[in-house]
Structure 1
Amino acid sequence: MQKILIVKTGGTFPDYAVERGDFVDWTAQGLRLAADRWESVDVQAGEPLPAPAKFAGSVITGSHDMVTDGFPWIEDAKAWIRQAVHARLPLLGICFGHQLMADALGGRAGYHPDGLEIGTADITLTGAAGDDPLFRGLPECFPGHVTHSQTALELPPGATLLATGLHDPHQSFRVGESAWGVQFHPEFDAPAILDYITRREPELRKNSLDSARIRAMVRDTPESASLLERFSAYCMSR
């Protein structure tokens, strides 16, 4: 049986990774797969991406880099995404991965005109989510952890908008049958997003954002977290 590939495009803060693991670890835990059912490649570090046909699906992680940075590895990852979609490999892009997919497939990523979004946001499903393999059966509105300055400013041609929010109109989309992007972080738990809020407080003050109010809104996000397990089940059932 094929594995799921986790494409590492970045990691959390090094000291926090020592304490709690990195994005790859959080993603693997959320997928709820045995250790021999997934593998990862660190594309940010220049590791080559394997042929999509080798895998049952792939998750593209978040990153502290920006899609518009234009690093060679970012362009290589975008080319691989196009190849994977052509091969009909199920994809799930998270935050940076979501923006990267949008940019790779004909949309456009860039800085959000209203600036930083961080904390726990309300994710509101569109009508199209009712028939979607990942989102069907979820509440119309559920909480999701967010921390991002860039966004998918424009979705790819023909993309299906699955979820929106007050700050970000493109919280999730799907291209074709099985390529999903989510702006929010299903792999984050409440302690992780609280740590990010603390670390970004100087930026919050600079943007006149109330960190105490943002902290008070943080809560658990079980529906968001379920998307990783839903994705792995979808991949393994094909």
Structure 2
Amino acid sequence: MPDRPVLVIQHTPVCPPGRVGDWLTEAGCALDVRRPYAGETQPVDLSGHAGLVVLGGEMGAYDDDIAPWLPATRTLLARAVVEAVPALGICLGHQLLAVATGGRVARSTSGQQGGTLPVGLLPAAADDQLFGTVPAGAVATHWNNDLVVELPAGAVELARTPAGVQALRLRETAWGVQFHPEVDPAIVRPWAATDVGAGQLSPERAATWLAEVDRDDAALVAAWRPFVRRFAALLPAR
């Protein structure tokens, strides 16, 4: 059991910790969820936490005017890397990790990713502490418009698809994943409705993507629950 709680940064009400939070709790982790969009403060350092998880959100990695707490989140991610505090960035969190450590994020040139897609594991994933036992043909849920287009110095790319970078590791304790291991079908449905309502996604494509998430639900749990449990095993224990 970790000796301190895991700090979770949640950027928006519609991107909760979801299954990642559930699986960390199953592994004996206490969660300290901070919601800066609701006025909750973020710690200035990670001395009181065993690990860091940064979730997704509809804003971009550079949208400090929309989400003025993002500089503090990037600082926490950079400190996690330097101080070897286990960290996991998901979607926006992945992009913030890259930007905080010298990488670059941009709009995807191939359009929005959505539904379930192959992870695109690279050879480096075989020896990775988290990805090493993820099945070669694993799929994950995607819902994003931006991608990491330049890796930070020293980053190891762990997964790539034709769209671009899907996972990376910095040093031996910080990971970013472009996909969403935390979601279940109930979390994704409002995302589809919002994008359709805004004219950013056709109803037909939204229906296809939602059907994929429903269809692959058992496979998603089978792939990503052990992944999160392996992250939990890296946290400092009592």
TM class by smaller structure: 0.7 to 0.9
Question: What amino acid is aligned across from residue 153 of structure 1 in structure 2?
Answer: V
**Matching residue within 176, 182, 196 for 1:181:** 176
TM-score by length of 1: 0.85
Counterpart mapping for 1:194-233 below 5 A: 194-201=189-196, 202-205=199-202, 210-218=205-213, 219-220=216-217, 221-222=220-221, 223-233=223-233
**Matching residue within 69, 75, 89 for 2:63:** 69
| RMSD between superposed Cα atoms in Å | 2.4
8 Å CA contact 1:41, 1:49 repeated in 2: no
Q: For each residue in 1:81-101, what CA deviation from the matched residue of structure 2 results, as whole angstroms up to 9, or x when unmatched?
A: 212211111100000000000
Which SS does the other structure have where 1:158 is aligned? coil
Which SS does the other structure have where 1:59 is aligned? strand
8 Å CA contact 2:108, 2:147 repeated in 1: yes
Counterpart mapping for 1:54-93 below 5 A: 54-71=48-65, 72-93=68-89
Structure 1 88/115 Cα, relative in aligned 2: closer, same or farther at 3 Å? same
Q: For each residue in 1:206-226, what CA deviation from the matched residue of structure 2 results, as whole angstroms up to 9, or x when unmatched?
A: 9xx733443443321121343
TM-score by length of 2: 0.85
Question: What amino acid is aligned across from residue 141 of structure 1 in structure 2?
Answer: G
Structure 2 equivalent of residue 162 of structure 1 = 158
Which SS does the other structure have where 2:142 is aligned? strand
Question: What amino acid is aligned across from residue 10 of structure 2 in structure 1?
Answer: K
Which SS does the other structure have where 1:163 is aligned? strand
Which SS does the other structure have where 2:149 is aligned? strand
Structure 1 gap segments, 5+ residues each: 13-21
Following the alignment from structure 2 to structure 1, what is the Cα–Cα distance between the partners of residues 50 and 195?
36
Structure 2 equivalent of residue 18 of structure 1 = none
Counterpart mapping for 1:19-98 below 5 A: 23-33=16-26, 37-44=30-37, 45=39, 47-71=41-65, 72-98=68-94
The offset of 1:186, in angstroms, is 0.6
**Matching residue within 168, 187, 190 for 1:192:** 187
8 Å CA contact 2:6, 2:29 repeated in 1: no
1:103 aligned to 2:103?
Answer: no
8 Å CA contact 1:146, 1:185 repeated in 2: yes
1:171 aligned to 2:166?
Answer: yes
Aligned length: 226
**Matching residue within 114, 118, 136 for 1:118:** 114
Which SS does the other structure have where 1:146 is aligned? strand
The offset of 1:105, in angstroms, is 0.5
Following the alignment from structure 1 to structure 2, what is the Cα–Cα distance between the partners of residues 171 and 111?
14
More helix by share: 1
The offset of 1:195, in angstroms, is 4.1
Calculate percent identity across the aligned residue pairs: 29
Structure 2 gap segments, 5+ residues each: none
